[in-house]
Amino acid sequence: MRTAAETEVRRPSAVRVLTILLATTAAATVVVEVLNWWYAPEQGFGLAVRTGWAMLRSFGFLLLIGHVRRGRTVARPFGLILAVTTIFAVGRLIVPRQGVPPLPGLLGFALLTVLCAAVVLLLYRSAALAGHLVRHRPRLVIDRAGISWRETPPRRPQASGWLLTSRVAAFTYSPLMLVPALVAGGSILDDRLAAVPGVLFWLGAGIAASYAVLFCTAFVLRGKRWARVLLVVVTAAVLAVDLPLCWWLLGIDGLVRDGGPLLAAAALTLYGLWRASRAEESAPAPA
């Protein structure tokens, strides 16, 4: 069995390729957002919030580099949801309210889409990466040898990759609700005082969604069937709250720009739960 030090030194070449690809994607995200801001006909509060949120994804790709280099199992689902939501986050900013998107923005978006697709394909199709992404996060361990900080397998049963994907996708519900809520908060500055209760409710629902998802996914990874059903209910509730508020406070444009990414995250969450259930049903019974 290889030690952690040996794993650190003997990284497969696919890790170096993926690291360069992720760094390039992070840089491309920033460049595309700067181009979009430069060519945007309206540089208002809403665009600033959405642009800032999209740029945060560049830090997400840098964080993913750390997970990949350390061989963490969470790298695959994290990379998948990061790539999908990045495409949606950048795509909704490229299209203006009126007219056609500028050519530099379209070219940048096309390049970013290709990079994100390459990241997902490499994460899920590379056999070398599959053998590398097997490590767990280090934990504080107290035993007879004393107190140490080292890698230990989780005490819960090993969760499938699809359950991890559902978990990571569900964790995006809260930020995907809070970003449009902040954008809608800008309408208050435009003398739309009637929007105050809706914005406050939206912010509260976004915060509550984070706690609900945290509770559900903790038991989903422990193999509890009721937790999967509850996560489906939470997903439906999140959509039932977010989509009407997007339409009411941000209009059809906001419904497409901000509701679309949340729909994608919800679809990925539900698909991951379905795939995990199918895999468990087809698995041979223990002897």
- Domain, as residue range, for 140: 1-153
Q: In this structure, is residue 268 part of a structural domain?
A: yes
172 and 116 fall within a common domain = no
179 and 107 fall within a common domain = no
pTM (two decimals):
0.75
Q: In this structure, is residue 280 part of a structural domain?
A: no
Per-residue pLDDT of the chain (287 residues; tens, 9 = 90+): 444 444 444 678 889 999 999 999 999 888 888 777 776 666 666 677 777 777 788 888 999 999 898 888 888 888 988 888 888 777 766 766 666 667 777 888 889 999 999 999 999 888 888 888 877 666 655 666 666 655 665 555 556 778 888 998 899 999 999 988 988 887 666 666 777 888 899 999 999 999 999 999 989 988 889 999 999 999 999 999 999 999 988 888 788 878 888 998 999 999 999 998 887 777 655 44
127 and 197 fall within a common domain = no
What is residue 31's three-state secondary structure?
helix
56 and 119 fall within a common domain = yes
206 and 93 fall within a common domain = no
- Give the number of domains in the chain: 2
Tell me the CA distances in angstroms from 209 to 178, 182, 215, 219, one per residue in order: 10, 16, 10, 16
Q: How far apart are CA 221 and CA 166, in angstroms?
A: 10
* Residue 263 structure tokens: 């729909």
